[in-house]
Amino acid sequence: MTPIARSGATSRPGLRGAFTALITPFTADGQVDEQAFRHLVRWQILAGIDGVVPCGTTGESPTLSTRERERLIATAVETVAERPSRARVSVIAGTGTNDTAATIRATRRAAELGANAALVVAPYHNRPDARMLEAHFRAVADEGRLPIVVYNVPSRTGSNVDADTFLRLSDHPMVVGVKEASGSLDQIARICRDRPRDVAVLAGDDAWTLPVLALGGDGVVSVAGNEIPSEMASLCAAALAGDWESARRHHDRWLPLFLANFQGGPNPVPVKAALALMGLLATDAVRAPLLTLDEPARSRLEALLRECGLVEAAGGRIAVREQGAVA
């Protein structure tokens, strides 16, 4: 199949590199810890991340109120704008729900708050078929007033945005990318081959970053970026520059962490525990129905973090403290 050509298409996607799917810090009593969130975004920028994604799955969006989501998006935009690099660091706001009208409203609000794009997950629970999925995303692209990244994660939503459906959507001028977490190599390969040249293909799982880049993709929306933003940015930069030996070294070194972030509990339970062990969070509190990591899993995670050099014997991460990015 010949790649789709769009009028006015650029030779490269606007979204390339590593984009951290930000966790949402909570206080011990379950309130959003805005100060901790701001510190984390600042650290991401200092570490050279290409973009941040507030209010996605890793950010526990299903348990955030509309007001909380809007405040987190606004805080991310404000924090990115503090530094001269603000033109380089993108804010991709999670706005997707299983209600098309609500998703359009959330996407319009993210546009008003200054987000660069919206991450729009496939509707969950109601399990629309391919025709319905296409209509949903087209409605958001038509009416949301913000470029959108289609988020395909069948393990969470129960429905797959297949290659044919996404490729039809990719002809829409407001569809600028896909976060692909289907786990299907065939599907991702087809999308990488046939999408318009200015539409980004981003891995939706850290362990798939290198394979997606090797297929001609453009980067990753990363959970591990919360823990190792500089390293994820370097992995993507090496691959995009054609330095596959360096990219493979990064992948091989951090693969155990990529996998550990999904062991012992659903995302973001393990990554929040890791950030607390690293001294980046005061508490790894999550909102029910999620529960914090239990003790056997926490001990295994701490041992891995120590082995990776992310935690000292006494706890905490030297590099973070030296940068002064976290109070």
pLDDT for the residue numbered 105: 98
Global pTM?
A: 0.93
Annotated catalytic residue 124:
no
pLDDT digits (tens, 9 = 90+) for 230-289: 999 999 999 999 999 999 999 999 999 999 999 999 999 999 999 999 999 999 999 999
What is the number of alpha carbons within 13 Å of residue 132 lying toward its C-beta?
12
Alpha-carbon distance values, 255 to 205, 207, 223, 231 (Å): 11, 6, 12, 12
CATH code for the structural domain at 17-241: 3.20.20.70
d(CA 317, CA 310): 6
Answer for the pair 95, 118: CB distance below 8 angstroms, yes or no: yes
Amino acid identity for residue 203 in this structure: A
pLDDT digits (tens, 9 = 90+) for 70-96: 999 999 999 999 977 656 799 999 999
Selecting among 42, 179, 250, 317, the annotated active-site residue is 179
Say what percent of the chain tops pLDDT 70: 91
Selecting among 43, 151, 166, 254, the annotated active-site residue is 151
pLDDT for the residue numbered 293: 97
